[in-house]
Amino acid sequence: MTTPKTSTGQALYSLVYGCEPVTPVEIHVPSTISSLNTIEENRPLLQDSLSLGEELRDAAKIRIASYQQTVAKSYNKNVNIRVFKEEDLVLRKVFPNTKDKNAGKLAPTWEGPYLIDSIVGQGAYRL
């Protein structure tokens, strides 16, 4: 038995192969699962589980979409949308490739202020 993923609600092995995995220990050591079915009895059950594979995948896709919406909602709940106009003063974040090498960990994380010259696109500005 493999562990179901939170996002799909299914074990990944069962989504790929359409059935639950059987570990080598279950093959060699008789258990209730392996001793109840013979090979002839297992074939129709395996065919049924393979036909249900597409339904499992479709249900997993729906669950993934729902899970992604929930994660996006919780991630974006504290986002404040800001719209800047030309001639506004803004600060620019200092990235590791533009940071002074000798600044250390107490270096400023913002640089500026910069004046917005023009609006290039949605959320993009020329400073």
pLDDT of residue 4: 65
pLDDT of residue 33: 59
Are residues 86 and 72 in contact, defined by beta-carbon separation less than 8 angstroms? no
What b/e string do you get for 69-106 counting C-beta neighbours within 10 Å, with b at 16 or more? eeeeeeeeeeeeeeeeeeeeeeeeebeeeeeeeeeeee
pLDDT of residue 100: 82
Domains of the chain, residue spans: 12-76, 89-126
pLDDT of residue 31: 62
pLDDT of residue 17: 67
pLDDT of residue 59: 83
Q: Residue-wise pLDDT tens for the chain (127 aa)?
A: 566 666 677 777 776 666 666 666 655 666 665 566 666 777 777 777 667 777 878 888 898 899 999 999 999 998 888 889 999 999 999 988 888 888 888 888 999 899 999 999 888 999 9
Burial of 14 (0-12, 13-18, 19+ CB in 10 A): buried
pLDDT of residue 89: 94
Are residues 20 and 52 in contact, defined by beta-carbon separation less than 8 angstroms? no
Dihedrals phi, psi of 24, to nearest 5 degrees: -60, -30
Count of other CB atoms within 10 angstroms of residue 35: 8
